[in-house]
Amino acid sequence: MEVHTDLAAVPALPGGAAVTIGAYDGVHLGHQAVLREVRRLARAGGHASVLVTFDRHPATVVRPESAPRLLTDPDQKLEVLAATGDVDHVVVVSFDLPRSQEEPEEFVREVLVDALAARVVVVGEDFHFGRRRRGNVALLRDQGAQHGFEVVGLGLVDVPGVAGPVSSTEIRRLLAAGHPEDAAALLGRPHEVRGVVAGGDRRGQQLGFPTANVVVAPDILLPAPGIYAGWYLRPGGEPLATAISLGSRPTFHPEGSPLVLEAYLLDFEGDLYGETARVRFVHRLRGEERYDSADALVAQAALDVEATRAVLGARR
């Protein structure tokens, strides 16, 4: 898979391209179904398979006050896309204010026709693009008739055993409600966040449960506060069983304190400060609680560790 951040750097595609366009936040099972269809059409027509995506979520530009938190950071998105094996090229288009005000016909001409020589364009039936979201599947079909490409509009994908169609919005809702397993069923993998391990207040060390304080970018979605069983992946990819605390630590801090992500790595000793961590949420053990004493907190933490062992031991 080749990644291009400049349209001018996209190589000539003699056979043209089967293209899909979108934010692709999460690269969930619905996205993956679209990518498989793009690959199928590309192979059938002798085209390259191409995903056009953006360097930020378009909502952060057009409606920043209500833009969603992201399921994947840019590096994660590219890693998951590469793992599908469905895409020959990913074109990361800069989405800024001028791009948001671009007429859809301009986008079609610049990106789909001139840069990619599109022969087939695959999008969701509810796809919108361009100034004031004027671009849609009908407009794409009109443009395709002028420029020589076919347009395929796909509906949302259902996953067996999961109620409702797959969407990034639904995955965010499930995570916000504290249901990481249901979110994982739509993602095709556990929800993962990444961040650098920073120094904490060392209270965990004193209580016998030293934790890695993982600082996650503010635009990344964190699930509902609580205690989770999950995995901590070190830079080399080694997964370590982890009891995760996500919350404001009300036993020691006042109400309204910022959320902190702390990972207690089971059966691990070593220095994690400064490394980039990947934290995967598998199962929510309980909500966050305030305790009357440090001893009560320690007793509950011991129970949480054992519960984490039980959950992860059953899911290896």
199, 148: one domain? no
CA–CA dist 305, 35 (Å, integer): 40
240: in domain? yes
CB-CB contact of 263 with 212 (8 Å): yes
Final residue belonging to a domain, choices 154, 176, 206: 154
163: in domain? no
CA–CA dist 149, 42 (Å, integer): 13
176: in domain? no
Determine the structural domain holding residue 212 and report its residue range: 191-313
CA–CA dist 150, 17 (Å, integer): 11
| pLDDT (0 to 100) of residue 127 | 86
126, 202: one domain? no
7, 150: one domain? yes
Residue in 276, 205, 289 with CA at minimum distance from that of residue 247: 289
Angle between helix axes 29-45 and 74-84 (nearest 10 degrees) is 50
Split into its structural domains, the chain has a count of 2
pLDDT by residue (tens digit) across 108-122?
999 999 999 999 999
CATH number for the domain spanning 264: value is 2.40.30.30
168: in domain? no
276-286 and 191-198 as β-strands: parallel, antiparallel, unpaired? antiparallel
Confidence band of 211 (pLDDT split at 50, 70, 90): confident
205, 299: one domain? yes
191-198 and 89-93 as β-strands: parallel, antiparallel, unpaired? unpaired
Strands (E), 169-209: 191-198
233, 290: one domain? yes
**172: enclosing H helix or E strand:** helix 168-176
Final residue belonging to a domain, choices 154, 182, 217: 154
37, 142: one domain? yes
Token pair, residue 206, equals 């004193």
Instruction: Report the SS3 class of residue 291.
Output: coil
Question: What's the whole-number average pLDDT of the chain?
Answer: 89
CA–CA dist 80, 14 (Å, integer): 27
272: in domain? yes
Cα-Cα-Cα-Cα dihedral sign, residues 299, 302, 306, 307 = positive
130, 43: one domain? yes
203, 149: one domain? no
The whole-model pTM stands at 0.89
CA–CA dist 246, 193 (Å, integer): 12
Flag the least confident range among 38-52, 192-206, 277-291: 192-206
Which string of b and e fits 51-60 if b means at least 16 CB within 10 Å? bbbbebbbee
